[in-house]
Amino acid sequence: MSQQIFSLARIATPIGPLLIVTDEAESLRGIEWEDHRPRLEKLLRRYYGAEGFALRAAAQPAPACPALQAYFEGELGAVARLETAKAGTDFQRLVWAGLRRIPAGETLSYGGLAAKLGRPTASRAVGLANGANPLPIVVPCHRVIGADASLTGFGSGLARKRWLLDHESRYAGTREVLLTQSVA
């Protein structure tokens, strides 16, 4: 198996510099804040092998960069169209697809997500798959909360999870108002 070359780009966000990893086809392979780079690299090794990839500084901004910047400016749907690579197990991919169906501005418990996936007793497995997600924001694992509505684990830190949820809540409501106004 030959080594894959992944491009590493950075963008500024209101909550710190964000690293964006893409492959030669420009599909997303990983996203993480710079201060959590070891987590990003650990997940990349898990999915592609320790010798299966090399990170290189991006020669130009990844196509995902404008969409992520738009997300941080309040255009929450901008990341929905981004192509992601198919890493992980079948179950993880099932969970990650379920995460992408949680609307911006909404949250769901681990048990609620497990039930929506047709696996009502798999809330712990859903939590593990959620924690192994290499693409936060695009695969919005931050939208999953505890059964008691508490903020629970987020690989990038609970402060960022709170910020993302607040950001989405603020702009999801604004977008609904703008859509209503444009129809009238």
Point out the residues that are catalytic. 141
Q: In whole angstroms, what is the distance from residue 144 CA to residue 107 CA?
A: 6
| 3-state secondary structure (DSSP) of residue 86 | coil
Burial of 71 from C-beta contacts in 10 A (0-12 / 13-18 / 19+) = buried
Distance, C-alpha 19 to centroid of its chain: 12
Burial of 27 from C-beta contacts in 10 A (0-12 / 13-18 / 19+) = middle
- Here the tokens at position 98 are 């379920």
